[in-house]
């Protein structure tokens, strides 16, 4: 399995630190709004990479954070006149619903920044002890960038070159030693959330949370660190400086970055206002179409979002699903049981599709080629199946299609629709569980319904629900 490593700018053979195990950290969203489909791209591609690794027999410890303390969250809270934590809790829940709709597996751990302040304080303290960090007069703690020799190794930037562009950047009144130094901890401001620290009451800078959570849940050295390519500089560069400065060890062996999702060839982003939320798109398409659309391109290539491409993805997906449905139908009506010699020969050909699929995925997770192999297999199935075939042959083809599509996180089984009555029954069960203070069961029910696209809302008049896809 080869992975393109941003650090070395090369495709490298993947060799895990510990045989059979993968420690993987993916930078997650800042939760102040519904996620847009650009945010969904890293979620979908790295989930697919995780699935492929698991298919290959690797045990993946997958950690992905929620940034739930940040200027944008505080601003959104002020606008609504509520607590920052109310905003972040709300959007974490909404984000989890969107992820479930896109069939993104839950991370092994989904830490939240506000619950990990202690580990952040610990790593900042280590940096202070090693002289990588210093406290300025107003209590702000900065990372001393020039002390970290390897600074720039990920983004392939040289401090000297940056220096030229940076010269004008020093803000007057700023008491940091050098304009490159970045914030690890900053003093509280009126009306903002804060925590106590040895330096001042305040809150963490953005970069430190990932170094801290990664160390806590995965250890000082990890296999893969991933995120969108906009994070290479400064976020990931700063994470390397923090983690390697504090731990004295190589932080991550492989750095993976997805390309942007664009619209009219411009990056889709909240600040530019040119975005669609996952929720918007789910109104119009089955969420699987969005997932399939994302996987139709290589994860490192830019991908332009358009109606035409979504329609093409919808049709492509429908060809795959229909082919499997047709096989299932044949399996029910066919009268022969055992595979004939001719069918065995055909199955040998089918094995070649599997090899081709793996070849594509082994080459830096080329899902675009992997999807083409699935289409080739669909074509093969359409030519080489009829009700004259044996059940064994048909069922093997079903298995083959299911295994390959599951690696991509595409579901070919049309699930039985939840009827309104089933939903009402589950809601009643949840109410009873809550009365009995069995909150675990109550949460399970909410989660189960959310996975099926049912949104619950607790209102004064009781529980209301609606379908979100």
> Applying CB under 6 A, which residues contact ligand AMP?
27, 29-30, 38-39, 41-42, 227-228, 230-231, 258, 260-261, 267-269
Separation of alpha carbons 436 and 444, rounded Å:
15
Q: Tell me the closest approach of the beta carbon of residue 59 to Zn ion, in angstroms.
A: 23
User: Which distant-in-sequence residues (6+ apart) come within 8 Å of 328 by Cβ?
Assistant: 398
Separation of alpha carbons 456 and 426, rounded Å:
11
287 binds, among ligand AMP, Zn ion, none (CB under 5 to 8 A by kind): none
210 near Zn ion (CB under 5 A):
yes
Nearer to Zn ion, 66 or 276 (CB): 66
- Three-class secondary structure of residue 219 per DSSP: coil
Residue with tokens 């093969």: 380
210 binds, among Zn ion, ligand AMP, none (CB under 5 to 8 A by kind): Zn ion
166 with 145: CB under 8 angstroms? no
Nearer to Zn ion, 45 or 404 (CB): 45
User: Pairing between strand 141-143 and 182-187?
Assistant: antiparallel
How big, in percent rounded to 5, are the helix, strand and coil portions of the chain?
50, 15, 35
Separation of alpha carbons 335 and 352, rounded Å:
28
Residue with tokens 């302040």: 117
256 near Zn ion (CB under 5 A):
no
25 binds, among ligand AMP, Zn ion, none (CB under 5 to 8 A by kind): none
38 binds, among Zn ion, ligand AMP, none (CB under 5 to 8 A by kind): ligand AMP
123 near Zn ion (CB under 5 A):
no
140 binds, among ligand AMP, Zn ion, none (CB under 5 to 8 A by kind): none
Separation of alpha carbons 201 and 195, rounded Å:
6
Nearer to ligand AMP, 255 or 260 (CB): 260
CA angle 213, 216, 218 (to 5 degrees): 95
Nearer to ligand AMP, 179 or 269 (CB): 269
Separation of alpha carbons 188 and 197, rounded Å:
11
Nearer to Zn ion, 210 or 294 (CB): 210
Supply φ then ψ for residue 194, to 5 degrees: -150, 160
Nearer to Zn ion, 27 or 60 (CB): 27
Nearer to ligand AMP, 27 or 208 (CB): 27
Site for Zn ion in 27-46 (CB under 5 A): 27
Residue nearest to ligand AMP (CB): 228
Q: Tell me the closest approach of the beta carbon of residue 275 to ligand AMP, in angstroms.
A: 8
Nearer to ligand AMP, 142 or 275 (CB): 275
34 with 70: CB under 8 angstroms? no
230 binds, among Zn ion, ligand AMP, none (CB under 5 to 8 A by kind): ligand AMP
Q: Tell me the closest approach of the beta carbon of residue 313 to ligand AMP, in angstroms.
A: 17
212 near Zn ion (CB under 5 A):
no
Q: Tell me the closest approach of the beta carbon of residue 33 to ligand AMP, in angstroms.
A: 9
Q: Give the H/E segment covering residue 331.
A: helix 307-333
- Stretch of residues binding Zn ion (CB under 5 A), selected from 204-212, 214-222, 293-301, 359-367: 204-212
Tokens of 434: 């809550």
Nearest of 149, 117, 119, 143 to residue 131 by alpha carbon: 143
Binding site for Zn ion (CB under 5 A): 27, 210
């Amino acid at each position: 399995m080869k992975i393109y490593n941003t650090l070395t700018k090369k495709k490298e053979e993947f060799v895990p630190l510990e045989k059979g195990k993968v420690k993987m950290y993916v930078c997650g969203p800042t939760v102040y709004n519904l996620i847009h489909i650009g945010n969904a791209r890293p979620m979908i591609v790295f989930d697919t990479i995780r699935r492929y690794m698991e298919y290959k027999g690797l045990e993946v410890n997958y950690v992905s954070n929620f940034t739930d303390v940040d200027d944008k969250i505080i601003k959104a809270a002020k606008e609504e006149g509520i607590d920052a934590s109310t905003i972040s809790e709300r959007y974490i829940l909404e984000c989890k619903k969107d992820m479930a709709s896109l069939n993104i597996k839950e991370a092994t751990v989904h830490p939240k920044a506000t619950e990990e302040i202690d580990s952040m304080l610990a790593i900042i303290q280590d940096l202070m002890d090693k002289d990588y960090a210093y406290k300025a007069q107003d209590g702000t703690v900065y990372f001393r960038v020039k002390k970290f020799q390897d600074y720039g190794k990920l983004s392939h930037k040289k401090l000297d070159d940056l220096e030229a562009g940076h010269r004008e950047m020093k803000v007057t009144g700023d008491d940091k030693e050098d304009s490159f130094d970045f914030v690890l901890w900053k003093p509280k401001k009126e009306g903002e959330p804060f925590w106590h620290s040895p330096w001042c009451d305040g809150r963490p800078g953005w970069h430190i949370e990932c170094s801290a959570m990664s160390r806590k849940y995965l250890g000082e050295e990890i296999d893969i660190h991933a995120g969108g390519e906009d994070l290479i500089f400064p976020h990931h560069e700063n994470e390397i400086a923090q983690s390697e400065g504090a731990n004295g060890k190589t932080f991550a062996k492989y750095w993976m970055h997805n390309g942007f999702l664009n619209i009219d060839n411009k990056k889709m982003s909240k600040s530019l206002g040119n975005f669609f939320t996952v929720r918007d798109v789910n109104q119009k398409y089955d969420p699987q179409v969005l997932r399939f659309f994302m996987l139709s391109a290589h994860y490192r290539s830019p991908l332009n979002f358009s109606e035409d491409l979504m329609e093409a993805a919808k049709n492509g997906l429908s060809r795959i699903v229909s082919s499997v449905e047709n096989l299932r139908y044949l399996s029910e009506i066919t009268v022969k049981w055992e595979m004939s010699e001719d069918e065995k020969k055909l199955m040998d050909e089918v094995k070649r599709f599997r090899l081709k699929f793996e070849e594509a995925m082994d080459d830096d997770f080329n899902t675009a080629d992997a999807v083409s192999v699935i289409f080739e297999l669909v074509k093969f199935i359409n030519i080489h199946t009829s009700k004259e075939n044996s059940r064994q042959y048909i069922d093997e083809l079903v298995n083959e299609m299911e295994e390959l599509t599951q690696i991509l996180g595409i579901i070919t089984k049309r699930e039985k629709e939840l009827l309104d009555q089933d939903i009402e029954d589950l809601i009643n069960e949840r109410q009873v569980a809550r009365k009995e203070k069995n909150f675990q069961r109550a949460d399970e029910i909410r989660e189960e319904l959310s996975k099926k696209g049912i949104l619950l809302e607790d209102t004064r008049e009781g529980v209301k629900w609606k379908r979100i896809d």
